[in-house]
Amino acid sequence: MTSVCIITARGGSKRIPRKNIREFCGKPIIAYSIEAALESGLFDEVMVSTDDEEIAEVARSYGAKVPFMRSEATSNDFAVTEDVVVEVLESYKDKLGVSFDNVCCIYPTAPFVSVCELQEAFGKLNSANSVVPVTEFDFPPQRAFKVDGNGFAEYAHPEFATARSQDLEPLCHDCGRFYFAKTVALLKYHDFIMPGCAVVRIPPERVQDIDTEDDWRLAELKFEALQHFNS
């Protein structure tokens, strides 16, 4: 069985310019994804899919391969992760004559990703079509408010308005970190969230979206705190 790790890193980030190679606690943030993938020992190929030559050079300097550049069609704001991954798989087959049984996509802004998480997810792929890391909401989403155009709030789900938090079904959400799938299943469903999707549970303190400057600062604080705690 062969496996490829695809790290998706286009150059056109708008909310945090150049965020995929911006320094995060001492090195380009993409380096954490590359190093975890390489250290896991799970992959026959660790590659970065990018449309940007500077990102490609940084990726190569940390040990990833960039065998071809990403197309314009998957470098815009409307292409989804699965579009990029499928394009990479097809490019390996058409340009290099190489196919992979399993595929993993790691985001380039995932400094909390660990070798243990990747190995756990890969193990679950034996009995699943795909694997996604998740974490629980810190407050029951069933008790959420929605705010109308006049600024007034009401329950989004009135049927749960008087329910005790402990009586509500615990729900989780995607960590936005990495995805595993059997290649044949991904090509069939074109979605990592598919029938037979297993999960790896991640503690909330190891999860942080990085979409704004405030997110970035919070992620660095959490990362440094975890490094100190584990030292």
| Both structure tokens of 172 | 């989780």
pTM: 0.95
pLDDT at position 38 over 90: yes
What pLDDT is stored for residue 77 in this prediction? 87
Q: How many domains does the chain have?
A: 1
Note whether 107 and 8 are within 8 A (CB): yes
- CATH classification at residue 58: 3.90.550.10
165-178 pLDDT, tens digit per residue, is 999 999 999 999 99
70-116 pLDDT, tens digit per residue, is 999 999 988 999 999 999 999 999 999 999 999 999 999 999 999 99
Alpha helices by DSSP H, listed for the chain, are 29-40, 53-61, 81-91, 115-124, 183-189, 213-230
What pLDDT is stored for residue 34 in this prediction? 98
Residue range(s) defining the domain that contains residue 154: 3-230
Share of the chain above pLDDT 70, in %: 100
Cα separation, 217 vs 20, whole angstroms: 15
